[in-house]
Amino acid sequence: MSAEDASRTSVAPRLRVVVVGAGYFAAFHHRAWAAAPRVDLVAIVDADGGKAAAAAAAHGVSQWRTDLKTALDDFDIDLVDIAVPPDAHLELIDLATAAGKAVICQKPFCGGLAGAERAADLANRRGATLVVHENFRFQPWWRQIKLELAQGRVGDLYDIAFRLRPGDGQGPSAYLGRQPYFQTMPRFLVHETAVHLMDVFRYLMGEPDWVQADLRRLNPNIAGEDAGVIVLGYDDGRRALFDGNRLATHPAENRRYVMGEAWVDGAAGSLTLDGDGGLAFRPHDANTAEPILYQSQPALFGGGCVDAFQAHVIAHLLDGAPLENHAAAYLTNLKLVDAIYASAADGARVRL
């Protein structure tokens, strides 16, 4: 924020936000911004004016527009939150950063590495804040697991595994109810979904040294892969395993809450995460696990990860707190995604 923007009120500076997008997932953005302290959700933008108007009304927002340029001309804005499909990302980032605004952009960020590098370069040259809305690492169970690891609960870490089983990928109607474009994505499971867990693994374990992957398509009604196994290797012997299958299920009241189950193994014991967000620790020599209590919001997507991510950005822009997921750092995830596809295509381990 500029000094002029921050001085609107000397007591409590506020962040003025416009969201571009009124689709399925954008609604989570709208709700979280409308509920956030120190934020004014100024307007919602969508090319479909009816959807923009309906979304604005649903969240108590008085203004909506059908294009970002008009919104930038009409309103005093600090932050543009982009929640539309990837083919529109780069143009919107260009427009917003040229106007001197901070930007959050959904993933798949600019559709892949080439577009993302251009966006990051634009932001860097213009001195603009550009953040990728990668919210899985802000899910409360992963934040708690990070804390448990930092406190040495499992001892020397051996491996982390996540088994993705949302069960939404069967038959000709797969994904049509929420995000129908999933059916036509030539790169699907890794590009759209597993990238979340690759970011989580990096958040918990640091940067891997190599990757090996086996990917497959089980549902013939979609274009891309919907199942696969990915191993991230660390030269010190640690491993991270992603085992994904969007057709199969796991036990959970809401299979989209955690979307699977996780195991974290170390010399002193193991952490387990179930599909309802239950976290437990079993000491190395024990047969029973001890529940770990932590704060979560079960009624919200991902335990409240959208709210937590947005609070993180608010703290950066208004208070100068450190920032995760800025665009330049996020490029590592996209390079990792490309390496996963290269490994699967060649049937070989790829050094990173």
Question: Is 125 in the same domain as 182?
Answer: no
Print the domain residue range for 256.
137-302+333-351
For residues 109 and 191, give the distance between their C-alpha atoms in angstroms, rounded to a whole number. Answer: 10
| Distances from the Cα of 218 to the Cα of 76, 168, 172, 245, angstroms | 49, 12, 12, 9
Q: Based on the domain organization, do 69 and 141 belong to the same domain?
A: no
- For 26-65, write each residue's pLDDT tens digit: 999 999 999 999 999 999 999 999 999 999 999 999 999 9
- The answer to whether the beta carbons of residues 234 and 209 sit under 8 Å apart is yes
Distances, alpha carbon 332 to alpha carbons 17, 117, 195, in Å: 28, 10, 11
Work out the pLDDT band at 11, boundaries 50, 70, 90.
low
334: Cβ contacts below 8 Å, ≥ 6 apart? 109, 112, 113, 116, 195
pLDDT of residue 5: 53
Question: What's the CATH code of the domain at 119?
Answer: 3.40.50.720
Q: Are 39 and 15 within 8 A, CB to CB?
A: yes
Domain count, the chain: 2
**Same structural domain, 253 and 235:** yes
The one-letter code for the residue type at 232 is L
Asked if pLDDT for residue 3 goes beyond 70, the answer is no
Mean pLDDT of 106-114: 93
Among 188, 187, 186, residue whose Cα is nearest residue 169: 188
Same domain, 203 and 347: yes
9 pLDDT more than 50:
no
Same domain, 233 and 184: yes
Determine the Cα–Cα distance for residues 103 and 80; give it in Å rounded to an integer: 5
* pLDDT (tens digit per residue) in 123-167: 999 999 999 999 999 999 999 999 999 999 999 999 999 999 999
C-alpha span between 45 and 62 (Å, rounded):
12
Instruction: Quote the pLDDT of residue 2.
Output: 54
166 and 246 together in one domain: yes
Please tell me the least confidently modeled range out of 10-24, 250-264, 271-285, 287-301: 10-24
What does the angle CA 137 – CA 140 – CA 142 come to, to the nearest 5 degrees? Answer: 50
Dihedral of alpha carbons 34, 38, 39, 40, sign: positive
Same domain, 116 and 54: yes
Give the separation between CA 122 and CA 116, rounded to whole angstroms: 10
Can you tell me which residue has the tokens 């302290």?
37
As a whole-number percent, the residues of the chain with pLDDT over 70 amount to 97
CA distance linking residue 69 with residue 316, whole number of Å: 25
Regarding whether 214 and 96 lie in a shared domain, the answer is no
Same domain, 212 and 75: no
Tell me the average pLDDT of the chain: 96
What are the pLDDT digits (tens) for 306-337? Answer: 999 999 999 999 999 999 999 999 999 999 99
Cα–Cα distance, 19 to 199 (Å, whole number): 24
Q: Is the domain of 102 the same as that of 205?
A: no
Instruction: Note the pLDDT of residue 8.
Output: 47
Contact 279, 271 (CB under 8 A): yes
Smallest CA-to-CA distance from 3 within 97, 103, 78 is with 78
Examine the pLDDT at 21 and tell me if it is beyond 80.
yes
Same domain? For 282 and 314 the reply is no
- The 3-state DSSP class for residue 71 equals helix
Write the pLDDT tens digit of every residue in 177-192: 988 999 999 999 999 9
d(CA 121, CA 154): 40
Tokens 């590009």: give the residue. 191
Return the pLDDT at 12: 75
Look at residue 295 in the predicted model and tell me its pLDDT.
96
Tens of pLDDT, residue by residue over 204-221, are 999 999 999 999 999 999
pLDDT, position 130: 98
CATH of the domain at 189: 3.30.360.10
Q: Are residues 200 and 266 in the same domain?
A: yes
In the prediction, which pLDDT does 220 show?
98
Cβ partners under 8 Å of residue 264, min gap 6: 145, 148, 149, 154, 157, 159, 160, 270, 271, 272, 273
Cα–Cα dist 103/35, whole Å: 19
| Amino acid 146: pLDDT | 98
- The pLDDT value given to residue 99: 97
pLDDT at 53: 98
